[in-house]
Amino acid sequence: MNDHPRSVQRSGGRAARRAARAAPLADHLRPVRPGMSGGKYAPLTPAQMGRIHQTALDALEQIGLADAPPSGVELLTNAGCILGDDGRLRFPRALVEDMLAIANRSVTLMGRDPANDMDLSGTRVHYGTAGAAVHMVDVNTRHYRDSTLQDLHDAARIADRLDNIHFLQRPMVARDVLDNREMDLNTIYACVSGTTKHIGTSFTDPDYVADALEMLHMIAGGEQAWRDRPFVSNSNCFVVPPMKFATESCQVMERCIEGGMPVLLLSAGMAGATAPPTIAGAIVQGVAECLAGIVYVNAMAPGHPAVFGTWPFGLDLRTGAMTVGSSDQALLSAGCAQMHGFYDLPGGAAAGASDSKMPDMQAGWEQAMSNVMAGLSGLNMVYEAAGMHASLLGFCHESLILGDDLIGQALRCVRGIEVDDETLCLETIREACIGGPGHYLGTDQTLSRMQRDYVYPALGDRTSPKEWDEKGKPDLIENATARKESILADRSRARFDPILDKAVRDRFNVHLPA
């Protein structure tokens, strides 16, 4: 008779503890979160970083860059560059050092929701999407098809709901919007109406920037509101490796800077093709090109927010095919992250993409390897981190969802091991071994740390073979598809107020249905 109330009490206590464990943790107690500091992995020594820096300065001073637009030539020669008879702009060492001294080192990329702001200082790590895939991966038919504006909007809506995807740079091209101006504007609309996280986009023509800024002013609530909190940045391939400016992209960059938009200075050479074949040489060229970008930006607008975007990619020298899922790629991005730290500049590089055509085992090992190494090296912005396949040609919604699980594990590696009196557990060991149960299951410390220290996959399966069989042998891809459909069944949390949406649609030809 006396046992019954105690049994109920114990059950109630367990239920309360389970409910407490199921409740969302405060941000500062979460086991992983945006902006945790990496930098524990360092493939380059300080001396090697110094040699890369000096060689990059040699390349800028002796070789320089060709094909700057007239506006860039004027800007850079006025700043101190030397225009040679061969049409190449050369960058004196002192000029580069001077511009590095005034470059912005405290960049925060903002979201429409301030909760999604990203502090890029130090070795703070953030993972997100990027790219310009032209195909969508259909995991059901195992076919590739052209990507559409709706696919892009759906990717934004999915990313908005994934804790470990911290920003959305446009991951695919809306191939069903044939007019380039309308494609650029609809890309912004589709992304911004899909997520309140920071967004990166690009422009196909400098003349389209003004219209895009007008749209962004409307969404922000006015030009000053936009300038106070620019929630979209320009991903700008301002160079065509090796060592040439991309004329129109430079003009786009100038107009984005004038409009208060942060810029990603993106140098994307391919080792062995448009960059030197060695890892060190590819990093040197990427660093040199991005240093030229730092001079360009700060000559125009000192302290303008810019991300040092060294994105060298690998090449399979047997076939000439681009590789993004190799160990070489992981080392390239990790080395670039160290160089960003060398300059104490906010930086980004590519990691987490796969050469595999489907979200399979190859994709898993390729995505995990480079995402973990990028995070451990302290890369501020890990672009291409989820969803990207076929050496950047294909994007997959299911892979984006699975990538959220994978990045959670990568972030736990970034967090590392805390060593203090509590985590060393001497008293916990004493209580378990002397007069205690001889194990740690159910102890207060185990229960309190299980949420704060451990990352649990949302879709990854940890059941025994027997439990897996009893559950009907759940399939990872099928579960990801179900999660995708569940997210897309709800209306976008980032959708615009109806009055604003109508005003935008009245002004611009929006291709997405209202």
What is the residue-wise DSSP string for 348-385?
EEE-S--SSSSSSHHHHHHHHHHHHHHHHTT-SEEET-
In the chain, the amino acid numbered 295 is: V
Q: How confident is the model at residue 2 (pLDDT cuts 50, 70, 90)?
A: very low
Q: Are strands 82-83 and 36-37 parallel, antiparallel or unpaired?
A: unpaired
pLDDT of 50 > 50? The answer is yes
Using a 10 angstrom Cβ sphere, with 0-12 exposed, 13-18 middle and 19 or more buried, the burial of residue 454 is exposed
Tell which wins on pLDDT, 20 or 270.
Answer: 270
In the chain, the amino acid numbered 185 is: L
* pLDDT in the model for residue 1: 37
373-419 pLDDT, tens digit per residue, is 999 999 999 999 999 999 999 999 999 999 999 999 999 999 999 99
Q: What is the CA radius of gyration of the chain?
A: 25
Average pLDDT of the chain? 94
92-134 pLDDT, tens digit per residue, is 999 999 999 999 999 999 999 999 999 999 999 999 999 999 9
pLDDT of 314 > 60? The answer is yes
Distance CA 364, CA 403 (A): 9
Q: How confident is the model at residue 303 (pLDDT cuts 50, 70, 90)?
A: very high
Distance CA 251, CA 21 (A): 53
Q: In what order do the strands lie in the sheet with 394-395?
A: 143-146, 135-138, 394-395, 388-389
418-440 pLDDT, tens digit per residue, is 999 999 999 999 999 999 999 99
Q: How confident is the model at residue 210 (pLDDT cuts 50, 70, 90)?
A: very high
- CATH 3.30.460.80 corresponds to the domain 100-415: no
* pLDDT in the model for residue 509: 98
pLDDT of 77 > 50? The answer is yes
- How far is the CA of 373 from the CAs of 45, 321, 335, 410, in angstroms? 16, 23, 10, 9
pLDDT of 11 > 50? The answer is no
Average pLDDT (278-285) is 98
Average pLDDT (164-184) is 98
Average pLDDT (471-483) is 96
Return the sign of the alpha-carbon dihedral for residues 168, 172, 174, 180: positive
pTM: 0.94
